[in-house]
Amino acid sequence: MLWNIKNGSLKFPDTDMDYIRFGSGEKVLVMLPGLGDGLRTVKGTAPTMALLYRKYAKEYTVYMFSRKTCLAEGSTTRDMARDQKEAMDDLGLAEVDLLGVSMGGMIAQHFAADYPERVRKLVLTVTAPRPNPILTESVEGWMDMAREDDYPALMDSNLRRIYSEAYYWKNQRWIPLVSRLTKPDSFDRFLIQAQACLTHDAFERLPHIQAPTLVIGGARDRVLGGEASREIAERIPNAQLYLYADYGHGLYEEAKDFNRRVLNFLG
C-alpha cells in the first residue's frame, strides 16, 4: 500500500507548489485539501497520507496538491483552480477523479466547471458554493486570531468548530504543544486563502458541471453549515447528496465509512 510514494514540488515562474503522490492504481485521483493548507503545505506528508488513505492506493495513483507557496494578494478560488490545471498539465494528468474538501471543494467547483474534459467524477466534501453567515463568522474569526498572532486560539477554534465534541475534548490538551511545534513563520498565506473563501462564488456556475458528482456534508457542520452541501447538490445536474446526521466538518476523518463511500461512488 505504500508503493510509489513521492514528496514533490512543481516550479512556476514566480513560485512553486508542493504535492505528494502515493498508490499504484491505473486511475488517478486528485485530492485538494482545505484551508489548513494556508498554515502548512503537504510537503513531507506523503507517508502519513498514504497510510491514512491506504484504501485508495490499490485502485488509484493519488495526488494531493497544495496551493502555490507564494500566493498573490487577492488570489481567488478560481485563480487557484487555474493554478491546479497548470500543475496537472506539468505532471501529464489528463483526466482524473477529483475530491475537494472544504476550501479544496471550492476550488474543485471552479475546476470542474472550467475544465469539464479533465474530470471523470467529482466528490465535493463539506464545502459551500458561496459564503453564508456560518462560513463568514468562522473564517473572519480565524483571520482575526491570525492577525493577532494568537496561534493557540486559532488552533482551539479550529478544533472546536471542525470536529465533534468528543473528538475536541479528547485532543484539546495537545493544543499548547502542537501550536509551539507547528506555528508558521507568517500567516500571510493563510490570510490570502481565508479571504478567497470569503469571496468564493461558484453558485451560478454549478449547473455547468458535467461530471457525475457526489456531495457529502455534515448536518452538524459548525464551519459552513450542513445546508451548504444541500445547496450545491441542488445546483449540479443529477448530483447525489449524502448528509451525515451525526457528524460535522471533520466527517472525512471521523466517519469510519467515508472512504468506502467515496470509493463506491468513484467505482
pLDDT the model gives residue 27: 97
Residue 22 has pLDDT above 70, yes or no: yes
Per the domain annotation, does 190 fall within a domain? no
The catalytic residue positions are: 102
The CATH number for 31's domain is: 3.40.50.1820
Please check whether residue 184 is in contact with residue 191, taking contact to mean a CB–CB distance below 8 angstroms.
Answer: no
Q: Which three cell numbers stand for residue 260?
A: 468506502
pLDDT of residue 71: 97
Confidence of residue 238 (pLDDT cuts 50, 70, 90): very high
- Give me the mean pLDDT over the 170-180 stretch: 89
Q: Averaged over 76-86, what is the pLDDT?
A: 98
**Percentage of residues of the chain with pLDDT beyond 70:** 99
Report if residue 139 sits inside a domain.
no
Order of all β-strands in the sheet with 60-68: 6-11, 16-22, 60-68, 27-32, 96-101, 119-125, 213-218, 240-244
pLDDT at 120 over 80: yes
More confident residue, 1 or 213: 213
The residue-averaged pLDDT of 71-81 equals: 98
Task: Compute the distance between CA of residue 259 and CA of residue 56 in angstroms, rounded to an integer.
Answer: 8
What residue numbers bound the domain in which 222 lies?
Answer: 6-134+199-266
Pairing relationship of beta strands 96-101 and 213-218 according to DSSP bridges: unpaired
Global pTM reads 0.96
**What is the predicted pLDDT for the residue at 181?**
87
Q: What pLDDT was estimated at residue 2?
A: 57
pLDDT of residue 178: 87
Specify the number of domains making up the chain.
Answer: 1
CB 194 within 8 A of CB 139: yes
Q: Is the pLDDT of residue 189 over 50?
A: yes
Instruction: Tell me the mean pLDDT in the region 219-234.
Output: 98
Asked, for residue 193, whether it belongs to a domain, the answer is no
- Domain assignment present for residue 103? The answer is yes
What's the pLDDT at 1? 47
Query: Does 166 reside within a domain?
Result: no
Residue whose C-alpha cell reads 488509484 in the numeric block:
60
Average pLDDT (158-178) is: 92
Q: How far is CA 149 from the centre of its chain?
A: 24
Is residue 171, in this structure, part of any structural domain at all? Answer: no
Residue 174 lies in a domain: no
- 217 lies in some domain: yes
Does residue 3 have a pLDDT over 80?
no
Range 43-68 average pLDDT: 95
Residue 179, pLDDT score:
87
> In b/e form, how buried is each residue of 65-77, taking b as 16+ CB within 10 angstroms?
bbbbeebeeebbb
